[in-house]
Amino acid sequence: MVSGPAGEGSGELKWGITLPLTGFSLREHRRLVEQLPEFGYTDVWTGEGTGVDAFTPLAVSSAWVPSLRLGTGVVPVHTRGPAVLAQTAATLAETTDASVLLGIGTSVPEHVTDINGIPYTKPYATVRDTLRFLTTAMRGEVVSGEFETFSVRRFQLAQPPVNPPKVILGALRPRMLALAFEEGDGAITNILRATDIPQVISAIGSPNHGKELVVKIFVCPTEDAEFARGAGRRFLAWILNRNVYKAFHEWLGNGQPLAETHAKWAAGDSLGAERALPEELVDELWIHGSPESCAKQIRQFVQPGVTAVLLYVASTPELRNDPGSLRDVLRTLGPAAR
């Protein structure tokens, strides 16, 4: 199990927000980011797919609020060389008074090959090799030699960070979770229900003190259930039909409930795949309702073993009509409102 119970009153649980936030350009984020500690948030995170890059929003956030912990969830290992990843993470660590969690992962072929023209080969081995390279490089040691998926000739950080970034893995199933906790600093997981967390925890195995288990939660804070479910179905039909998430949900026991959506997607019927998603599963994976209702649902993810709750706040009609209301929404969703 991870580092012991984390949650209300434990003093350990971290709360993060995924950047960028709805309705604001990056340069307009400053006032929002500056208020995050007031609302109880400790972290800012980025993902990297087809939107912003993983590091620029964190760098500017660190300049605005150096006390915020910075995390990537996640950077694809195929789209940057291992040395560039090490250099970027080490540089980011020099900008903050807090810590950096460098989340790396396999991503999906659509984000690696389709838009970058890079072969999506040996995903597990590439993550493993990149993790081993980074953990050595971050200590300031010389890295030189042959890995299964790449080779390196005498790389060394010119100025190793005083507070080296933690390297965590985007991990879903037992094999990647084991790697994350045996050789890395923990894991970040997502697209799961609160009731799935014990299964993830059980796959981690023996005690791993000081390691991270970050749970990313998708939240659509609107009482317009038709809008929320429509947005959720579009996102979930796409993501749950990527091989890695399909296998994840089969492991979680959702193979049969998702069989129809998989069949329709494979047949090229994306709209049918959306409609075939079970409503109950959509509601559990894409939390929606009033901000107060969402806050109660988020609370269910605060379980022993979880070290950080990371919120992705989706666009809603209310936020589109009044972007300034996002501050109140973040306040309500965050720990300070409890």
Q: What CATH number is given to the structural domain containing 192?
A: 3.20.20.30
**Average confidence (pLDDT) over 274-298:** 98
**Average confidence (pLDDT) over 295-307:** 96
The pLDDT assigned to 209 comes to 76
Residue 3 is which amino acid?
A: S
In a domain, 257, yes or no: no
Average pLDDT, the chain: 94
Give the Cβ contact number of residue 24 at 10 Å: 18
**Average confidence (pLDDT) over 204-209:** 71
Alpha helices, DSSP H only, in the chain?
A: 30-35, 56-64, 82-93, 109-112, 123-137, 174-182, 197-204, 225-239, 243-251, 259-266, 270-276, 279-285, 291-299, 317-321, 326-333
Question: Is the Cα dihedral 257, 273, 263, 266 positive or negative?
Answer: negative
In this structure, of 57-71, 94-108, 198-212, 311-325, the range with the lowest mean pLDDT score is: 198-212
The pLDDT assigned to 208 comes to 64
Helix (H) or strand (E) holding 218: strand 212-220
176 pLDDT more than 60: yes
**Average confidence (pLDDT) over 100-106:** 98
Q: How confident is the model at residue 98 (pLDDT cuts 50, 70, 90)?
A: very high
82 pLDDT more than 50: yes
In a domain, 288, yes or no: no
In a domain, 74, yes or no: yes
**Average confidence (pLDDT) over 133-138:** 97
The pLDDT assigned to 23 comes to 83
Q: How many domains does the chain contain in total?
A: 1
Q: How far is CA 141 from CA 100, 116, 133, 144, in A?
A: 19, 31, 10, 10
In a domain, 293, yes or no: no
Q: How confident is the model at residue 9 (pLDDT cuts 50, 70, 90)?
A: very low
**Average confidence (pLDDT) over 266-292:** 98
**Average confidence (pLDDT) over 188-209:** 90
The pLDDT assigned to 12 comes to 81
In a domain, 235, yes or no: no
The pTM of this model reads 0.95
The pLDDT assigned to 2 comes to 38
In a domain, 247, yes or no: no
- The domain of 72 spans 14-216+322-337
**DSSP letter, residue 163:** S
Q: How confident is the model at residue 206 (pLDDT cuts 50, 70, 90)?
A: low
In a domain, 254, yes or no: no
Asked if residues 219 and 314 have their Cβ atoms less than 8 Å apart, the reply is: yes
| Cis status of the peptide bond prior to 74, with omega within 30 of 0 | yes
Helix (H, G, I), strand (E, B) or coil at 153: strand
In a domain, 125, yes or no: yes
Tokens coding 153? 């000739």
**Average confidence (pLDDT) over 244-258:** 97
Q: How confident is the model at residue 234 (pLDDT cuts 50, 70, 90)?
A: very high
The pLDDT assigned to 239 comes to 97
247 pLDDT more than 90: yes
